[in-house]
Amino acid sequence: MDAEKLIMYLILIILFFPLCISLDTLTSDQSIKDGQSLISNENNFILGFFSPGNSRYRYLGIWYAKVKKHTVVWVANRNDPINDSAGVLSINQSGNLVLHDSHNHLLWSTNVSVQGTTSCVAQLQDSGNLILVQDKSKMLLWQSFDFPTDTILPEMKIGLNRITGLNSFLTSWKSQDDPGTGDYFFKLNLTGFPQIILYEGSTPRYRADPWPWNRPAFKPSFGFNSNFVNNEDEISYFFSLDDPSIITRFVVDSSGLYQQLTWNDGDSQWKQVWSTPRSCDNYGNCGAYSICIVDSTTRFACTCLPGYEPKSLRDGSEGCVRKNLGLSMCGNGEGFVKVAHLKIPDAFDAAWMDMSMSSLECEQACLRNCSCTAFIDCNINGKGFGCFSFYGELIDILEYTDEGWDLNVRVDASELAKYTRKSKGFLGKKRKLAITILSVAVPLFLVSLLAYMWLMKKRKTKVKRKLHNPSLNFTGTKDYLEGNELEDSSRHPDLSIFDLSCIVAATDNFSPTNKLGQGGFGSVFKGLLSNGQQIAVKRLSKSSGQGVEEFKNEVTLIAKLQHRNLVKIFGCCIQDEEKMLIYEYMPNKSLDSFIFDHTRSSLLNWRKRFEIIIGIARGILYLHQDSRLRIIHRDLKTSNVLLDGEMNPKISDFGIARIIKGDQIQDKTTRVVGTYGYMSPEYVIFGKYSTKSDVFSFGVILLEIVSGKKNNDSYQNHPSLTLIGHVWELWRVDKALDIVDSSINESFFSLEVLRCIQIGLLCVQENAMDRPTMLAVILMLSSEITLPSPKQPAFIFRRATNEFESITGGELYSINDMTITEFEAR
């Protein structure tokens, strides 16, 4: 009888009280009604219906299970509330999660396309992520983490999915009683360098330091990790926990405050760890060229950067303007004044970065460019020092107490002298301390210097003996050492003189199986040194069109160049009749072997092609502006762009490159050499070459990378057109995307591709003065600045097979398609 009563009680409970689904999974034959819920496996989160604050409306959401204070982290129908307690969540016949009210009106849906007839399952994970998967394959179809509301949880990403185009960001609630979309947005800004910004509508309220500089966007305390991902699939921020038992969240509240909150057992309220914006954190609090400084009472003041003065008579709160505005700061003895512990300014739509530069090179590069207003030499996460230079208005600068970066601000000669005098005055106050230190340091320095000079003398003697060793039987040694050019190069610490027997052994006596290719210089062989180092050996052919001058030119130039997008030379061999250059081995050979090969071109998706374009551009900019020597390559083409194991581009073949003086604009030669199809019209016809000649070559390379076609290819509908001409004709009728390589079979960003095509056309314009500089090219590639309209390019027609025509000054010239040749310029 007792057993019968127990069964009856259970039946009554089931009939008259709402059933709580304690499982974490919802199948296609189940539903969740108001009063029912899903609970994650370890009881971390609950999915169900709730009413916020004093609201009478009902919403479907996710909240913490172990937190006493009811805290919602995600809302489904935030802008479509339910008027009663009759809401139902289910999985419809198409496999989507759907939310209906009592009138069967659809209020919310996952709205994904489900392939096939496989049923779907929804699951609430212990991370707080609600996922929708296909039942059998377990393929993820949708997840709530991709559609956050006002809260970031651990492992939830903010940013852009480049595959789907989905941009995930936070939006505040309207109020504590209304989870509808509020006025504040916390999102990743992709204009220029990526940085997270808190907006009120479209107005910035707070800007986090861009990754990966010093102060991360999520400002995690001990036990947290802030992460940044930037690859071909996505660009995003997220944070993770060292201790998963910690309960923490980041939230944008309805008042516009972005804060980190934590919960501990026994607490009745969330504890605020950090929040922003406060005083100086407010975006642009002090205007342009002004620093926001907080004192001990949390009040702030605005002070101008060195060389600037307030717009108003009071202070820099309305921004600052440069002193001596009419005085030019270009080649008039200007310099830089360092300001320490600053937040990096917001000038990222007009900023440029190179992680291969030293501090001195960074300063010199900025000084050479009259548009450069400031620079930062930085060490990012132990990856080495680099250069960060600014070319636009500097805004949102604030002073940190014990961290931040040193901003080097460009000032005129008089301002520089003033700061130099201040520095000297400070040294005068510390004279006694300096004398004490110097009295100890100077003797130690002298001893060290003498020891260093002795070692260097011994090393030079060793190198000379090696160079002049009769057993090596060099031919023409006197010619090669004329002017000490090669001798100086051989003293370079990273350049070695190889013995012929060493190279013979490394290449298995120049075995045909080790031959990598053939160029104007001669054959190139793969080799393996005794220490395991793989090398590429470029062997000068006796019948080569290039000779002693090109050989010496390449050794003396490339030994002095160091950049991640330039091929590295290990040394050379000059013995018997042999003249060889030894380079780092590039396993993926040259760029043309990919983009012009129908099989291998599919290995280069658009994201990788774009990265290659950027890498080539940075390498050329280094040659033109940022290296110790100002160099014009003169033979830029896809076959001279090599690819390393990670498909990073490296410019090679400097045999016909030329050094020009820092203030020199162009030079002229009667010996025109290069590769037709890549050479600019002013160089081909008149022998004039400049940095704009390399820009023309880069433009051709860019168009070839986008199209997968050679410039000298013919086209079925327009056999008289070159690639340049074909692109130009399509551009004029708004069909430029027709040129895109058909092997790029994944979805690509059409705006980005069109932008690259437009930049390519700007680079191949007929008049050299119309072409952009390489610095401008990089800014155009890496930002959303408005581009000028290109004018008609050069070499758009061909007369016959492999002949190009260029209209210049009313005359028509025909140029044969030849590689590494020479002729007399007009």
- Express each pLDDT in 653-687 by its tens digit: 887 888 876 555 566 665 667 787 898 888 888 88
Which among 150, 635, 653, 741 is annotated as catalytic? Answer: 635
Helix ranges, 369-430 (H)? 413-429
Answer yes or no: are the C-beta atoms of 251 and 210 closer than 8 Å: no
Q: What are the angstrom distances between the C-alpha of 764 and each of 14, 29, 56, 696, 806? A: 78, 63, 66, 5, 12
State the Cα–Cα distance between residues 488 and 474, nearest whole angstrom: 17
Residue 691, Cβ neighbours under 10 Å: how many?
A: 23
How does residue 823 score in pLDDT terms, banded at 50, 70 and 90? very low
Domain at 13-147, CATH from 2.40.50.140, 3.10.450.40, 2.60.40.420, 2.90.10.10: 2.90.10.10
> Does the pLDDT value for residue 555 go beyond 70?
yes
Q: Which two tokens stand for residue 688?
A: 């004039």
Would the CATH topology of 475-584 be identical to that of 592-824?
no
> Does the pLDDT value for residue 815 go beyond 70?
no
Residue located via tokens 């340049």: 724
State the Cα–Cα distance between residues 753 and 606, nearest whole angstrom: 8
> In the annotation, is 635 catalytic?
yes
Q: What one-letter code names the amino acid at 808? A: T
Class of residue 259 by CB neighbours under 10 A (exposed 0-12, middle 13-18, buried 19+): middle
Class of residue 51 by CB neighbours under 10 A (exposed 0-12, middle 13-18, buried 19+): middle
> Does the pLDDT value for residue 491 go beyond 50?
no
* DSSP-based three-state secondary structure for 159: strand
Q: Which two tokens stand for residue 329?
A: 């700061």
pLDDT in tens, 593-643: 999 988 888 888 898 999 999 999 999 998 888 777 788 888 899 999 999
Superfamily name and number for 592-824: Transferase(Phosphotransferase) domain 1 (1.10.510.10)
State the Cα–Cα distance between residues 712 and 734, nearest whole angstrom: 23
Identify the DSSP state of 806: E
* DSSP-based three-state secondary structure for 354: strand
pLDDT in tens, 32-69: 999 999 999 999 999 999 999 999 999 999 999 999 99
Give pLDDT, residue 489. 39
* H/E run at residue 554: helix 548-558
Q: Which CATH architecture has domain 475-584?
A: 2-Layer Sandwich (3.30)
State the Cα–Cα distance between residues 304 and 321, nearest whole angstrom: 8
Taking each continuous run of H as one helix and of E as one strand, the counts in the chain are: 15, 50
pTM value? 0.52
* DSSP-based three-state secondary structure for 529: coil
Q: Which two tokens stand for residue 169?
A: 């960001």
User: Which percentage of the chain shows pLDDT scores above 70?
Assistant: 77
Give pLDDT, residue 379. 67
Q: What one-letter code names the amino acid at 436? A: T
Rounded to an integer, the average pLDDT of 694-713 is 92
The alpha-carbon radius of gyration of the chain (Å, integer) is 33
Identify the DSSP state of 791: P
Output the DSSP codes for 89-112.
EEE-TTS-EEEE-TT--EEEE---
Lowest mean pLDDT among 51-55, 220-224, 256-260: 220-224
* DSSP-based three-state secondary structure for 715: coil
State the Cα–Cα distance between residues 820 and 826, nearest whole angstrom: 18
Answer yes or no: are the C-beta atoms of 125 and 40 closer than 8 Å: yes
Q: Is 538 annotated as a binding residue?
A: yes
pLDDT in tens, 341-364: 888 888 666 777 777 788 888 898
Class of residue 279 by CB neighbours under 10 A (exposed 0-12, middle 13-18, buried 19+): middle
Give pLDDT, residue 607. 87
Backbone region of residue 279 per phi and psi (left: phi > 0; alpha: psi in -120 to 50; beta: other values):
left
Contacts of 282 (CB under 8 A, 6+ apart): 205, 206
Q: Which two tokens stand for residue 776?
A: 């401008």
State the Cα–Cα distance between residues 169 and 613, nearest whole angstrom: 30
* DSSP-based three-state secondary structure for 328: coil
Give pLDDT, residue 4. 66
Closest by Cα among 170, 363, 367, 142 to 256: 170
Closest by Cα among 582, 574, 560, 583 to 479: 574
Give pLDDT, residue 9. 55
Domain ranges, ordered by start, for the chain: 13-147, 157-277, 290-429, 475-584, 592-824
How does residue 819 score in pLDDT terms, banded at 50, 70 and 90? very low
Identify the DSSP state of 566: B
Q: Which two tokens stand for residue 573?
A: 């061999």
How does residue 113 score in pLDDT terms, banded at 50, 70 and 90? confident
> Does the pLDDT value for residue 701 go beyond 80?
yes
Ranges of beta strands (E only) in 65-215 are: 72-75, 88-91, 97-100, 106-109, 120-124, 130-134, 140-143, 151-152, 158-161, 167-168, 170-175, 178-189, 195-200, 203-207
Give pLDDT, residue 689. 85
Rounded to an integer, the average pLDDT of 158-175 is 93
Q: What one-letter code names the amino acid at 369? A: N
- 18 cis-preceded (ω within 30 degrees of 0): no
Answer yes or no: are the C-beta atoms of 659 and 809 closer than 8 Å: no
Task: Work out the mean pLDDT of the chain and round it to a whole number.
Answer: 80
Ranges of beta strands (E only) in 594-738 are: 630-632, 641-643, 649-651, 658-660, 666-668, 671-675, 688-690
Q: Which two tokens stand for residue 320?
A: 């600052």
